[in-house]
Amino acid sequence: MSETEFSETGVRIDRWARSLSRAGQVTVKDGRVALLTSYGREIDSAPVGTVSAGRAWFAGGDATVARVNGTRYRLTMPRRPGKSDGAGPARRFLEALRNAGGERD
């Protein structure tokens, strides 16, 4: 299974108070979740089964909170103009994790 289940660019990746990337990338591929900087450098990655993610009450509709290797990250997905379907990137990320066997909070 070499097909990418989820990939989104332009993602703001925060380790709570600290911004790690304002235009990063999140991918779910080959059973792994990877958080990358805008230059493609890996911030963190882990097998899908060990990653938990969900929406926090304080996060907006375009943000999720993911725990990768025990570290919590806030992932704010970009809003694409003209796309008003109910499945925004944050929702598609959570669905890709669930379908790949990850935990959902």
pLDDT in tens, the chain (105 residues): 456 789 999 999 999 889 999 999 999 999 999 999 999 999 999 999 999 999 877 767 788 999 999 999 999 998 776 655 556 899 999 999 998 875 666
Measure the CA–CA gap between 43 and 20, rounded to whole angstroms. Answer: 8
Two structure tokens written together for 13: 């990746």
pLDDT score, position 17: 86
Cross-strand partners of 53:
66, 104
- Give the 3-state secondary structure of residue 96: helix
Q: Which residue ranges make up each domain of the chain?
A: 4-100
pLDDT score, position 79: 77
Model-level pTM? 0.85
Q: Quick one: CATH architecture of 4-100?
A: Roll (2.30)
Half-sphere exposure of 55 (CA within 13 A, CB side): 15
pLDDT score, position 105: 61
pLDDT score, position 39: 95
Burial class (CB in 10 A: 0-12, 13-18, 19+), 66: buried
